[in-house]
Structure 1
Amino acid sequence: MSLRFAVLSLLDIEPGSGYDLKRRFERSVHHFWSASHQQMYRELHKLHGEGLLDCVEEIQDGRPDKKVYSLTAAGRGALEAWVAKPAAAQKIRDPFLIQVFAGHHLPPAQMRAELQRHLSEHRDKLATYEAQNARFYRRPAEQQQKLWISHQPLLLGIETEKTWIRWAEQLLARLDAEIADRDTAG
């Protein structure tokens, strides 16, 4: 259900084609909501069919015509009504954390290798988020002011990744100490 409102939110900021929308999605909403290219296009067609989006075809030289979507008054109303509703807090659902929970069944070196792999992925994600954050601050001041609240999920993502990395580094240190203890004892 939230993909429809992610699409409406992005088109509320600026009209665009499916391609434009996908690029904007990847630079903003993607850090807390995922959708495939196909899901995005299906949602655009569905929203257009429901009268929540207008669609204008722009003729392009040497390329297929481009469909540019924008919110209708009904689309803006649906978005405003949805935003006004309370959202349920989400619980963490991470299969890796279940593996850590049952990690006493693995040798520390094996758990360490898996943790190191996840740590690398989280460091990459943090780098991506920080690059997106830097792009936000390169926007003109009036755009930053208009979109400051839309920027907050990215800031939460940055803090979440920093916390995850700090937690993983502490766990790695503990695993390293346990491995060293076993090596000296064995």
Structure 2
Amino acid sequence: MSLRYAVLTLLDIEPGSGYDLKRRFERSVSHFWSASHQQMYRELHRLHDEGLLDCTEQPQAGKPDKKIYALTEAGREALDVWVQRPAPPQKIREPFLIQLFAGHHLDNAQARELVQRQLDRHRALLAGYIEQNERALKGDPERLERYWLAHRTLLLGIESEKTWIAWAEKLLQELDRR
């Protein structure tokens, strides 16, 4: 259900094509919500069929027309209603934690390698989030002010990655002592 509202939110910020939407999704919402290219296009078509999106075709030289999606008034109203509802907390769905939970099947070196790979992944995510935050802070101050709550999701991502890193580093130290 939340993909539809992620799509509505991104198109509320700025109309765009399916390709534009996917790029925006990957730079923002994908840090805490996942969707494939196909899911995104299915949702665009569904929202259009429900009258929540308008679609205009933009001619392109030597290519098929580009479809540009924008919220309708009904789409904006649906987003307004949804954003005011309380969101239920989600449980963590992390395959790595299942692997670690079954870690008694690993020797110490294998466990260390598993944790180190995860640590490297989270360090890379943190570096990406910090870079994205620096770009946001150097960008348009009016845009940053308007979307300051959206920016807070990025700041939570930074803090979350710092927590993962600290936890994994401590776990590696414990594995080294064993």
Task: Answer yes or no: same fold by TM over 0.5.
Answer: yes
CA offsets, 1:136-169, max 9 Å, x none?
Answer: 1222110110111111111111111110010000
| RMSD over aligned Cα atoms | 1.2
Contact 1:126 1:158 in 2 (8 A): yes
Name 2:51's counterpart in structure 1: 51
Contact 1:56 1:67 in 2 (8 A): yes
- State percent identity of aligned pairs: 67
Contact 1:126 1:162 in 2 (8 A): yes
Per mean C-alpha deviation after superposition, the further-off stretch among 90-99 and 139-148 is 90-99
Name 2:173's counterpart in structure 1: 173
Which structure 2 residues correspond to residues 68-147 of structure 1 after superposition, within 5 A? Answer: 68-147=68-147
Give the distance between the partners of 1:23 and 1:175, measured in 2 at CA. 40
SS of residue paired to 1:65: strand
- Aligned AA (1:153): T
Uncovered stretches (5+) of structure 2, i.e. residues with no partner: none
Residue 51 of structure 1, CA deviation? 0.1
CA offsets, 1:41-82, max 9 Å, x none?
Answer: 111111000000001111122222111110001000110111
Higher-Rg structure is 1
Matched, 1:38 2:38: yes
- Aligned AA (2:54): D
Name 2:13's counterpart in structure 1: 13
- Aligned AA (1:52): L
Give the distance between the partners of 2:30 and 2:96, measured in 1 at CA. 21
Contact 1:6 1:29 in 2 (8 A): yes
Residue 134 of structure 1, CA deviation? 1.9
Count the aligned residue pairs: 178
- Aligned AA (1:11): L
Give the distance between the partners of 1:127 and 1:117, measured in 2 at CA. 15
Give the distance between the partners of 1:157 and 1:80, measured in 2 at CA. 25
Per mean C-alpha deviation after superposition, the further-off stretch among 105-114 and 27-36 is 105-114
Name 1:62's counterpart in structure 2: 62
Matched, 1:156 2:159: no
Give the distance between the partners of 2:49 and 2:56, measured in 1 at CA. 14
Name 1:181's counterpart in structure 2: none
Contact 1:31 1:129 in 2 (8 A): no
Give the distance between the partners of 1:44 and 1:134, measured in 2 at CA. 31
Residue 131 of structure 1, CA deviation? 1.9
Give the distance between the partners of 1:40 and 1:93, measured in 2 at CA. 21
Give the distance between the partners of 1:120 and 1:28, measured in 2 at CA. 21
